Every structure is written in C-alpha cells, then in structure tokens.
Structure 1
C-alpha cells in the first residue's frame, strides 16, 4: 500500500529503551535530606530520645544502610523475634566477644547467647526483682556512629516488655522514658560487667574475669601484698603466651550447683595484646587440647603467679 508508513532505515523494531540504572542522588539532594533529618532529630530529642538516636544514625554517611535488609542477621527460631540495638561499633564488638568468651563451646553463637541473657533478665526487671540504671545519653554535639546488634529474644518476653514500657521508666527511676534499647543494652552491659562509653578508649580493651568468690578475694589480697595491679599481671601473662614461654592450663568446670557463684574482676588491658591473644587462641586450643579464651588465660596466669592452685581446685570443684 502506497500510504503504509515505513520504519526509518537502520532502526530495529525490538530495540528497548536503554536502562537508566539505579538513581544516584545529587550532592545537593543528599545534603538537603541530611539537613531535614537533622531538623527532625532535634525536634524529638527530648520527647523521643530513641527516635532521635535513629534519625541521627540515618543522617550519617552510609546511614541509609540501616534500612537495607541485613543478610548477615541471625536466623530467629520459632517463639523468638529479632531485636536490633543501635550501638557504637566498639560496644557491639565488646559484647559479642564477652559472650563468646563466657561460652563453654567454640560452636556457640553470640546472638543466641545474648538473646538468652535478655530472655532471662527482662522478666526480672518487669517483676521488680532486678533494678537497672539508665543508659546515659551521648554528650550533646557528639556524633558517634551506630551499628546494629541483632539479638533474638523470646517473643512473649518482648510483648510483656512493650506492655510495661509506658510506666517502666518511672518505676526504675529513669530521667527519660524507658525504651527497649535502654533496657536491653543495660542488661547486656551489666551481664558482662561493662559500662556504656559513647567513644572507645582506643588504647585499652575491657575484659571481665568471672572468678569464684574465695579465689577472687585471694587474688585481690595477693595483688595488695605484691604492690602491683591487675592490668600489669594480665598483660605480663599475655606477653608470655605470645612469646611461647608460658602455656595456660584448663580452667576446671565449676562444681555442680556453683555456676553462678562468681565475682567480677574487671580489667582494662592493652587492646593490641588482647587482639593478638584472641587470634592465637585457636592455635592454643589445637596444641593444648582444650578451649582457652583471653579471660581464662588471664585467670590461670593469676592462679599460677600467686600459687593458688589448691584453692582454685577447691573453688572450681576439679575432679567432682
């Protein structure tokens, strides 16, 4: 047909429009969004501090990643739900390491250990059996970056916590409203003898030594007699382990019924030493035939240095 339209030459009928790819915001758009988030954060700082913390985290570089699905988040078992706590990265690392150090197996997973702590402790807070302190706010003007700490907690426990949140802060003596993050984070910090620090001490790492009461008292007495401090001796032991001049023995498992009879002996140790010892622990386990951790190495070195082996055997119930 003479009037039938024809396609222009060199044009393919099946050609698709070129893909524009993922939209990348212009610098001005990014700045405007961050400004708006900052305005919103300032508006709710006093009335909703947990919302303020989230908005502050969102407006930081890469803060949008909080809104993406975390493919590394732990799988939550039936009857539990995932709780994400936004904390400084050094706090997340310290809690995860403390949980694994306290575990009896190398196969243990930090999220499940931390979740078990919260599932057991939150009901004690709600019943009034356990009182906790309020997590302090970050100093005004600071911009500590936050990361997610994923913890699976019993669903029924979480439902009860949410029901009591409106009045819980006043009952606990909080200055501001209680939130899931405040309660959960304080419980985890208390469990491992830590306190909340917005900014890390980059030179020192905090360890918590859980020691039977009489043995802990004897160690403190020996430290006073020797006119030395806990940090010096622990660092000395770590240096010897790394140099291969001393090997730790296995800390005996606690006697039946004494699992929770422990004193906490907090100690701040050179961060580089702790990281080096932690990296050497798998090698030590293979050569010694038993599991070791930075805290167990520290405890055994104190026992060895002060000649407290007999007391340690009695306190740990070795051979029972």
Structure 2
C-alpha cells in the first residue's frame, strides 16, 4: 500500500493502543506493568509510522533495559511547538529527552529556573525513557535543587531540555539571547548570506522585529504543510540515521525589543490553532530577508 496509507494505519493503531491502556488501566483490567507495555508499544508503532521510521527505530533503540512512560505537563502551545520541531528534524522526542538526561548526569547541561505560569493552558506530552536513566536523574535532581536553589525534577528537566535542544523558547525562561535550532543547511545559508551582504543576523532580526511591531511588515503565519499521514512535510533531506541534521544559532537581541516580541507572540498564539513562539517569528524574518534555499 502507499506509504501515506500505511502511516495512517500505524498512527491509528498507536492511538488505539494508548486508548486501550487508559481505559483498561482505569478499570483495573491491566496491571501497571501491562499498561506501561501498551504505551511502549504505541510509542514504537508511532516511531515506525514517521518518515525514515525503521532507521529512527534502530537509532533510538539503544536502551537494553526496561523503559518507563513519562507524562509531562506543559504549556499547550509549547507542546505543539516541540512536536512540530521533532517532526521537522525527524527526531523522536523520547530520544531528545534521553540525551538531555545524559547531559545532566554528565554535568554538561544545567536545567534553568522555570517560573510558574498560573494562566497557561496545560497539555500532556508522553515520552518513554530508559528507567535506569530516569532513576539516576531523579536521584540527582534532589542534589541539583539544593545546589541551584530552585525546583528541579525529572519532568522539568525533560521539558526544559526539549525546549532548549529543539530551539523553542520556554515561557518565562528566555533572556536577551534567542536560541534557534535550524536545519543545518538553512543555518549555514543564512550565516553566509548575511556575511555576503555585510550585515549581522542580529541586525536583520531586530529590523524585522521593529517592522513587525510597528505594522510596516505584516507576514501571514500559517502551519507548515502536512503529508496525507498527518506529519509535517520535510523541507530538508534527512541523514543516514533518518534525522534532519540541526544546528544551533544564538542571536542576542535588544532586551526591550525581545520582550515586546514575546508579548506579540503571546497574543498571536491565542488567535491561531498552530504553535507560535519567538524563534518561529525570527526564523521567518531571517528567511524573508535573506532567503530560504528550500523555498
């Protein structure tokens, strides 16, 4: 059958497994261990359903021990942006969380302070991670919380690392530096094009933000096109392991200007049915002014 039809059936199967896990778990028909097995099966079915599914399954199958499901509670708009980013880079969210947990254990990444947003509309994001790895992080979280002086736990680490690694600003965490995660070919193109025009990415970004705020530039923001199976259409070719190689880009922006952009994005997010975040707007500014090789 066509790939899109096969993907749709696999996605339906994954959703049915998750629904069964919830209903049978609530009724007491399933033990907690069996419920976890249902959720784990759904995770891998969904992994295979995506682009480069078999390669991604092999790449993410590094855990030889038991896994656990983590139900992460986070801002609904943030969840949508993370899912969109993972689909663009063809990288499973569970894999990114595992990388984040390992980075915390290695001491190469520190979770930021995340203020509570009592007005946020919340959603749940399910990821699966190696149980042994998660247990190590939970034990370390107690020590980190005492040392850092703010609340740290597995869930906060997972959400914060997802946001940082995938270039989606977490509400209340941003400073004067905007961190973007872009397909590597696009990042290299933008840097080269800016250099050839004798401008910096900061100058391009700030000019675009000012134009957006004063109304002299009014771009139409839409959701990226999706395939028949419901996933985002790939704009850049994936590598041998089925992922789109990504590159980080840090752009320091005037603090007041960036705060105004964040306020604009927050208002915009209430009026659209797809995820919005500052990085998405700045990416649009850069590609609008410097071009996009995949356009």
Q: TM-score, normalised by structure 2?
A: 0.49
Between structure 1 and structure 2, the one with the greater Rg is 1
Which structure shows the bigger proportion of residues in helix conformation? 2
